[in-house]
Chains A and B, each alone.
Chain A
Amino acid sequence: MLKKGQTPAAYLFLAPFLITIGIFFFYAFARAIYYSFTDFNLFNDPTLIGVKPYVDVLSDPSFRRALANSLVFAVITTTLQTVGALLMAVALNNKIRGMAFFRAAWYMPSITSSVVITLIFLWLFQRRGVANYAITQWQTFLPYTLTLLGVLIAAQVAQVLWERSRRLPAGWFDPALAAVSLLIAVAVTAALSWTGVLSARDVAPYDFQYFSDRWISIGGVQILSIPMLVIIIQNTFTTIPTLMLFFLAGLQNIPGALYEAADIDGATPAQKLLNVTVPMLRPVSFYVITVGLIGTMKMFDQVAVIGSAAPRDTLITLAYYVYTNTFKAGAAPVNMAAAAAIVLAAIILLMVFLQRRFISSEAI
């Protein structure tokens, strides 16, 4: 408790934050709510027109597409990044040589600018980009790959059967035998290639257009566009490291005794993960999912960078919708943008509320 006379000092120290939050959050939020009920277009004096902007926004096909895109993106990305971050944290929590290097390497995508990563992904997934090139190469050299795999499996099976015929214990995936099998497979493939039996196929370049108007549909309803799928991959790639840090911190706090007890009971690694790690990480998971949902619902930069490289409907999100309706040429439907922003805020609040209510209440 503050003693008498300390209150002003406390407020003095808090002032910079209070002022910033006051101006850039409360004032801005109140203004947005006000504008969402007016006919404001950046240049006129706003007059109240009731809920018309909300009606306009809800009847706008772009808005509905943006809403659907945002929700699909949020759900898929949050799921992928949470699971991925957890698995990666568990992997990096082991005490192996060179772990510091792996931790640093895994964390790199997170500290790189998302704009730069988006540009890199744009190049990777162009029509003549690396992704299509890799697929073309894969198809070209398919005879080699198939031969290698076929010989590898045949050699492994032969070796294991031979070992077993000599009454020696040998598993199907025995690493020592596999190494020998691999050597045999490489030798056979090289020999076949040398003698001209095997050669690369002449295939047309693989030409999938990732940034085009293609959709994954269920029952005729367009659910997820291919460009959005690329962004999901990219977003998962960049956010996993950050979220992994939270899980790593959480993992350090799980008592080792629990794992020892599990070991004594004969639990498999999977059982330990599901029955010890996951329940103990519940508060961290709640935080990670909340941050993930909010972050993905507000996703904007990737879409803005890709811009007109992909058809707009395939990528438009709520945040991007708000942006494009505010920054137009000349008078802009700022009232609609404000209404959409309020809808976005309401959805995020609702998501967090539902999560607190049903998912993790007992863990907090």
Chain B
Amino acid sequence: MKKTLFVSLAVLVAAAGSAHAQTTIKINGYGGQDPAIVGDLINRFVKPALAKDNISVVYQPLQGDYNQQLTTLLAAGNAGDVFYVPGETFDGYVATGRLLPLKGVVNTTPFIKSLNDAFTRNGKTYAVAKDFNTLTLVYNKDIFDEAKVAYPNDNDTWTSFQNKLAAVKKALGNDYYGACLAPDYARMGEFAFAAGWQPFDAKGKTNLLDPAFVSAFNYFTGLTKNKVAVQPSELSQDWSGGCLASGKVAVAIEGNWIVGFLKDNAPNLKYGTALIPKNDKTGKRGNFVFTVGWAINANTKNKAAAAKVLNILTSPNVQQYVLEQGLAIPSRSSLQNNAFFKKTTPGAQNSKAVFQGASSGTVRPYYFGTQGSDWTKPINTALAAVLSGQKSSADALKQAQQEMNTFQNR
């Protein structure tokens, strides 16, 4: 009797022991299509690699507003061991102190420099870019052909690009437009970077009355002169990809996300891609990098296992798979000679331009500093006021600067 008891106890202890050795790494990421993609990546690449280490991986998507939910989970101490951190809200998370600095944990050198910069603050890198996007000019070939105007190309300057759009509008008349411009810093800022504007000075303040910013602002809003460019809302669209798909607009300024959208919504549209035009004076182009990084929770109990998972998720074979599936543009600099970029399909051409965009001219991450996305509000308000003709550019910018001062002095 005693022996049986002893044996069953031993079995119990052994079971508890083996359960203890099993480490579970929880990953937080976007909902939508990401659970399927990341789930597939985990099954194909992560699980086989970690089978012998007794590490299991679970993907826990956060539906709805990702940033809001991640913040709540982090504040409550319930966030995953590894999670996505979007570049634009990165500063807000650095301020929480819940991101683990990756020095000595993960090697960040194989990744594109502008992407590492996007996740580096005060010399510490806190995340590895999972993938990224930049802006490109996506144009409707048929419209340019019909208007007998040359396609936009990588050598275009602000002036030559503007002239092409005006020529298209002139040739095709009232039902067609040169471009679709949303009143959004995310579509206007790259022109300001090209002109030499810096979003934050040494003291962390923003100057919207800087001549470089003013020239970009005037160029962007000036494109709407004579209805050459329109706002998406004027065509009952909510973004310029929708405008392009409608076949009424010659050019959209968007990233690689437009490829899948056009495949589904305008499969017969013939489109090409060019890089963002260069500033006439500086001869440089500007661009945003939009990126999402993998970060490790500073409070994780399984730092080593989390680092292993992160390394596999950013490994060359995972990134190759992501690229070939047309899911996103991967972040390793060694991929620039990838065979995929040499394909001639419009989608692959766009991917190539997006990849090039990350290292051509002045490229800055899409970010707003520690105070978060409200930073863009004065700029967007000014853009909306000028694009809809309610205010002059000078008045709008003056008011925007006042609001920016109030915001930043908080």
Interface mask (B382-410 → A, CB under 8 Å = 1, otherwise 0): 00110010100000000000010011001
Q: Does A59 contact B (CB under 8 A)?
A: yes
CA distance A312 to B373 in the complex (A): 13
Interface of B is mostly: helix
Residue pair A331, B95 in contact (C-beta under 8 Å): yes
CA distance A171 to B86 in the complex (A): 74
CB neighbours of A312 from chain B (8 A): 377
Count A-B contacts at CB 8 Å.
72
Residue pair A331, B385 in contact (C-beta under 8 Å): no
Residue pair B388, A329 in contact (C-beta under 8 Å): no
Q: Does B268 contact A (CB under 8 A)?
A: no
Q: Which residue in chain A gives the minimum CB-CB distance to B70?
A: A329
Residue pair B372, A330 in contact (C-beta under 8 Å): yes
Residue pair A61, B384 in contact (C-beta under 8 Å): no
Interface size class of A (residues with CB under 8 A): 20 to 34
CA distance A328 to B92 in the complex (A): 8
Residue pair A330, B236 in contact (C-beta under 8 Å): no
Q: Does A110 contact B (CB under 8 A)?
A: no
Residue pair A330, B93 in contact (C-beta under 8 Å): yes
Residue pair A331, B377 in contact (C-beta under 8 Å): no
B window 330-369: CB within 8 A of A: none
Interface mask (B47-76 → A, CB under 8 Å = 1, otherwise 0): 000000000000000000101101110110
Residue pair B406, A330 in contact (C-beta under 8 Å): no
Residue pair B233, A332 in contact (C-beta under 8 Å): no
Residue pair B96, A331 in contact (C-beta under 8 Å): yes
Q: Does A260 contact B (CB under 8 A)?
A: no
Q: Which residue in chain A gives the minimum CB-CB distance to B69?
A: A327
Residue pair A332, B406 in contact (C-beta under 8 Å): no
Q: Does A301 contact B (CB under 8 A)?
A: no
CB neighbours of A127 from chain B (8 A): 233, 236
Q: Does A174 contact B (CB under 8 A)?
A: no
Residue pair B89, A329 in contact (C-beta under 8 Å): yes
A window 153-208: CB within 8 A of B: none
Contact of A330 among B96, B233, B385 (CB under 8 A): B96
Residue pair A328, B71 in contact (C-beta under 8 Å): yes
CB neighbours of B156 from chain A (8 A): none
Interface size class of B (residues with CB under 8 A): 20 to 34
CB neighbours of A330 from chain B (8 A): 67, 71, 89, 91-96, 372
CA distance A218 to B407 in the complex (A): 27
Residue pair B96, A42 in contact (C-beta under 8 Å): yes
CB distance from A348 to the nearest CB of B (A): 26
CB neighbours of B381 from chain A (8 A): 311, 313
CA distance A43 to B92 in the complex (A): 11
Q: Does B320 contact A (CB under 8 A)?
A: no
Q: Does A212 contact B (CB under 8 A)?
A: yes
Q: Does A263 contact B (CB under 8 A)?
A: no
CB distance from A201 to the nearest CB of B (A): 20
A329-B373 contact given A127-B236, A212-B233, A311-B384, CB 8 Å threshold: yes
Residue pair A42, B75 in contact (C-beta under 8 Å): yes
Q: Does A277 contact B (CB under 8 A)?
A: no
CB neighbours of B93 from chain A (8 A): 329-330
Residue pair A43, B233 in contact (C-beta under 8 Å): no
CB neighbours of A128 from chain B (8 A): 236
**Which of the listed residues A43, A212, A331, A333 has the most CB atoms from chain B within 10 Å of its own CB?**
A331
CB distance from A176 to the nearest CB of B (A): 49
Interface mask (A322-353 → B, CB under 8 Å = 1, otherwise 0): 00000111111100100000000000000000
CB distance from B373 to the nearest CB of A (A): 7
Q: Does A242 contact B (CB under 8 A)?
A: no
CB distance from A35 to the nearest CB of B (A): 13
CB neighbours of B233 from chain A (8 A): 127, 209, 212
Q: Does A41 contact B (CB under 8 A)?
A: yes
Residue pair B372, A61 in contact (C-beta under 8 Å): no
Residues of B within 8 A of A (CB): 65, 67-68, 70-72, 74-75, 86, 89, 91-98, 233, 236, 370, 372-374, 377, 381, 384-385, 388, 390, 403, 406-407, 410
Shortest Cβ-Cβ A-B pairs, 5 listed: A330-B92, A329-B89, A329-B67, A331-B95, A330-B93
